[in-house]
Structure 1
Amino acid sequence: MDRFICRENIERYRRLLAQATDVEQRRQLIKLLAEEEAKEQSIGTIADPGAQS
Structure 2
Amino acid sequence: MLYSTSQIFTRKWQSKSAQSLYIDLQKSMISRLLENTSQFTLMHNVWTTKGNH
The structure 1 segments of at least 4 consecutive aligned residues displaced by more than 6 Å after TM superposition are none
Structure 1: unaligned runs, 5 residues or longer? 1-20
Structure 2: unaligned runs, 5 residues or longer? 1-5, 35-40, 46-53
Query: How many pairs are equivalent?
Result: 33
- Normalized per residue, the structure richer in helix is 1
Larger RCO, structure (CA 8 Å, separation 6 or more):
1
2:16 counterpart residue number: 31
Identity %: 9
Deviation per CA, 1:8-34: give whole Å up to 9, x if none: xxxxxxxxxxxxx81100000000000
1:44 counterpart residue number: 29
Please report the TM-score for the alignment, with normalisation by the length of structure 2: 0.54
Q: Which has the larger radius of gyration?
A: 2
RMSD between superposed Cα atoms in Å: 1.8
The 5 Å alignment of 1:6-21 reads none
